[in-house]
């Protein structure tokens, strides 16, 4: 990983008391002006601060309880993003853990709110640990989370594993370090529990691509079909489904359905095509897609294969068909991890969100894992939604009990049926 040349970071308060940070970076530029070689001067305004953090910061600043100290830091970066590329967003979450370094506690005259000013980065894991015990909370993290979030979680897994954990836990609070549909699934399974999502903006392009009303119209056009929905969809779409699946069990789920019934599959068209091939069942597909898995560059993959002729290519089925055609093994995130463990190969080119590389490298330090650049030339295919969760936001939601997932009970009960069917069928 390259280290960006020096990044000068200062923090100042903007109008309305909103805290904002300005970054002047050498190779990460504000709405980046690419100069051809990927270098140049620019500024990045930090605006991805949650409403709650705005409020906490604003109150503390207005009450004179915090002061601002400009500091200089270095931020790891492995991309040269083009204008508007997601690579820039990868920088944003990385700023969060260091923001407290710049915020000086000057006066602590209001104890009731002073506790909401975050501890130093060094204290964050300890503070999160103490809060987790105090509140009887369990922290679940998806493999696509930042490494420091994975490292503090009680359990790390893919969607199916996390769903099972959410259903089984006896904790009072579930902190779901993943995206919104995952936290919703936990709430559907455990309505009596408080389910927190560190950043409510952590959505998913697949869920966004499948609005409930449009899906209802699509279903109405296919009244005789069994509706199988990938878990990456909203609760309102789950409520219209007969069966939920994950990428781990989708083929198995479809194979178990009555042969005489036609099947409608939503929302991921790439996963749907792969399931169709594997199961031999014809599926009517909803045209959704994952912006991360559709972004890998075939050309870059071929170059990597030339550089590492002994490497095996392992791919998530949300990737497009030309990339899947080049893969030695296709499977869900957990299956990719298990395959890397059991394979005799020592080098793997990994076609899924690079957060999984952290677990792969931890479990298999003697093996090499390579991620694949995106089609826009940026070498960071990090999911911009997943990476919105940070240690800072995790700590903050444990302190305040917000943001919590809320759900209409009628929708929840309807959405529970196809999830329960999946859990029973995938035993």
List residues binding ligand SF4 (CB under 6 A): 144, 179, 204-206, 232, 290-293, 353, 383, 385-386
Smallest distance from the beta carbon of 81 to ligand SF4, in angstroms? Answer: 17
State which residue, 100 or 157, has the beta carbon closest to ligand SF4. 157
Say how far apart CA 137 and CA 81 lie, in whole Å: 38
State which residue, 102 or 206, has the beta carbon closest to ligand SF4. 206
- Residue 125 burial by CB count (10 A; 0-12/13-18/19+): exposed, middle or buried? middle
Smallest distance from the beta carbon of 142 to ligand SF4, in angstroms? Answer: 8
State which residue, 25 or 301, has the beta carbon closest to ligand SF4. 301
Task: Round the CA-based radius of gyration of the chain to a whole number and report it.
Answer: 22
Q: Which residues contact 3 (CB under 8 A, 6 or more apart)?
A: 74, 76, 77
Say how far apart CA 72 and CA 272 lie, in whole Å: 48
Question: Where would I find the H helices in 63-116?
Answer: 87-95, 99-102, 111-114
State which residue, 247 or 276, has the beta carbon closest to ligand SF4. 247
State which residue, 290 or 419, has the beta carbon closest to ligand SF4. 290
Say how far apart CA 130 and CA 118 lie, in whole Å: 14
State which residue, 118 or 150, has the beta carbon closest to ligand SF4. 150
Smallest distance from the beta carbon of 310 to ligand SF4, in angstroms? Answer: 28
Q: How many CA atoms lie within 13 A of 166 on its CB side?
A: 34
Smallest distance from the beta carbon of 333 to ligand SF4, in angstroms? Answer: 9
> What's the DSSP call for residue 66?
E
Smallest distance from the beta carbon of 55 to ligand SF4, in angstroms? Answer: 27
Smallest distance from the beta carbon of 162 to ligand SF4, in angstroms? Answer: 12
Instruction: Provide the edge-to-edge strand list for the sheet that holds 71-73.
Output: 42-46, 19-25, 7-13, 71-73
């Amino acid at each position: 990983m390259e280290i960006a040349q020096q990044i000068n970071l200062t923090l100042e308060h903007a109008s309305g008391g909103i805290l904002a940070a300005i970054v002047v970076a050498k190779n990460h530029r504000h709405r980046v002006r690419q100069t051809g070689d990927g270098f140049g001067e620019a500024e990045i305004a930090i605006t991805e601060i949650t409403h709650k953090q705005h409020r906490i910061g604003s109150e503390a600043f207005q009450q004179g309880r915090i002061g601002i100290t400009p500091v200089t830091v270095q931020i790891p970066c492995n991309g040269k993003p083009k204008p508007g590329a997601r690579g820039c967003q990868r920088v944003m979450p990385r700023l969060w853990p260091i923001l407290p370094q710049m915020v000086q506690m000057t006066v602590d005259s209001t104890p009731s709110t002073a506790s909401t000013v975050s501890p130093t980065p060094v204290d964050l894991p300890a503070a999160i640990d103490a809060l987790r015990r105090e509140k009887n909370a369990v922290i679940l993290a998806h493999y696509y989370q930042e490494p420091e979030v994975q490292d503090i979680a009680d359990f790390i897994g893919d969607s199916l594993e996390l769903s099972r954990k959410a259903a089984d836990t006896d904790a009072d609070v579930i902190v779901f370090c993943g995206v919104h549909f995952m936290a919703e699934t936990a709430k559907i399974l455990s309505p009596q529990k408080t389910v927190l999502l560190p950043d409510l903006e952590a959505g998913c392009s697949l869920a966004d691509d499948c609005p409930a009303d449009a899906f209802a119209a699509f279903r109405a056009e296919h009244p005789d079909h069994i509706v199988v929905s990938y878990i990456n969809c909203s609760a309102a779409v789950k409520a219209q489904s007969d069966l939920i699946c994950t990428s781990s069990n989708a083929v198995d789920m479809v194979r178990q359905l009555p042969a005489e019934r036609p099947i409608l599959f939503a929302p991921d068209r790439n996963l749907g095509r792969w399931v169709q091939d594997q199961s031999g069942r014809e599926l009517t597909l909803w045209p959704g897609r994952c912006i991360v898995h559709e972004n890998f560059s075939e050309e870059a993959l071929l170059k990597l294969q030339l550089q590492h002729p002994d490497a095996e290519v392992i791919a998530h089925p949300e990737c497009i068909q030309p990339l899947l055609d080049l893969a030695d093994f296709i499977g869900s995130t957990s299956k990719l991890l298990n395959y890397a463990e059991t394979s005799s190969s020592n080098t793997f080119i990994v076609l899924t969100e690079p957060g999984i590389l952290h677990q792969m490298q931890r479990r298999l330090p003697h093996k090499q894992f390579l991620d694949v650049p995106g089609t826009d030339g940026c070498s960071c295919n990090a999911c911009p939604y997943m990476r919105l969760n940070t240690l800072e936001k995790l700590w903050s939601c444990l302190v305040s009990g917000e943001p919590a997932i809320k759900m209409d009970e009628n929708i929840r009960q309807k959405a529970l049926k196809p999830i329960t069917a999946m859990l029973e069928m995938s035993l």
